[in-house]
Structure 1
Amino acid sequence: MTRMRRLPVAMPVAAINRRLGRRKDAQVVSAVQEAQLAQWMAEAFARCRPEGVFGCLAIMDNNGHKVTLSDASVIENDAVARLLAKCQYAWLAASTIGSELPALVNQAIAAGNGAKAVVADAVGSETVEAAMDVLQSYAGTIFRRRGRQLSGKRFSVGYGGWDLSAQAMFFAWLPLVDMGLRLTTSAIIEPEKTITAIAGIRSS
């Protein structure tokens, strides 16, 4: 198990702009508007505390529909099974940016500043994805030194038919409670802007 309490994440400006629907060929905004946007983005990013954790479990069986891991947990999802095909281990990870950014979003909403809330939310969404990218890249380097290869692709709960109830397995696999995370009765992880992911590890 490897926990990284301070992930070196740069603000993903391009990704944030894409999420906000800002294209290079979009209508030019005024200098004042641009400055305001930059200020909101910087303020939001300053509230992000990217950290992550990852571990791995041996794959005992994968029939193309259902994957059984060494702790006897079972993942029933075709997309996950395809991702882990020909892999000997499952890489299990989570990244979060903490509670300060969601609090900023809520403050902006309470103050009636919807535009700032949207910008801050976009910053949080893209920063936590960037944090997972950093975590996966770091793990990949470690595994390469051990003669193994971590897949570049990953899969997250809530996508491709992988039900949100599977988040509970990540709380069993990883010390997420120790990171200040909690799982609601509706299988939502709090604080918001936390993601989990699985990838495959195979021999090089």
Structure 2
Amino acid sequence: MRKPQTVAALTELGRVQLSRSFFMRDFLYSDIAAVHGLSNVPDDPDLAIAAGTRLCEELLEPLQDAFGRIAIRSAYRSAEVNALGHSKNYNCAPNERNYAYHIWDRRDAKGHMGAAASIVVPSFASRFDQPGDWKRLAWWIHDNLPYATMEFFPVRWAFNLGWHEHPARAIMSHVPNDRGLLTKPGMAGHDDDHRAEWEGILPA
């Protein structure tokens, strides 16, 4: 598929179904693009679709099956949108670090495919709002889903959830008093069963 250059072509891209519940259109909105008049459209739609499909099928669908509707805050960024976001200090990493992450239609330096979305799980955030509660959701995902990376933030426990061909299996936090790595391969407890941390968080 070529990069869309018309409304009709972009409409067709948006109609691509990535999984049972998610369409490409769900991931194309960008606050940065909206404010600065940019087009948040993939240069390589086929790669973006392939990476986004894996993200949706392997992570977002099972997460939604377990917790109910998830809210997508930010997901795909074009290289142009991400570069502007980085230059204006909008909490966007440089493009090279976002390839195969928020920039779905570019492979990383090693040629690997990946995709990420920033999401909120409303059913969790509304019930667990005490310091450190984000770890309960992090450990559930760690024990149950084939994630590549997670990166948590303090507001409503929003987090970046990433799929990657070669998953790092690392969890990072930007939450005050919990900043830094929660786990990565080689750290104590990484391969343990963490049921005691997350038991009881699933909606009734």
Length-normalised TM-score, structure 2: 0.30
Length-normalised TM-score, structure 1: 0.30
Which has the larger share of strand?
1
Which has the larger share of helix?
1
Relative contact order (C-alpha < 8 Å, sep 6+): which is higher?
1
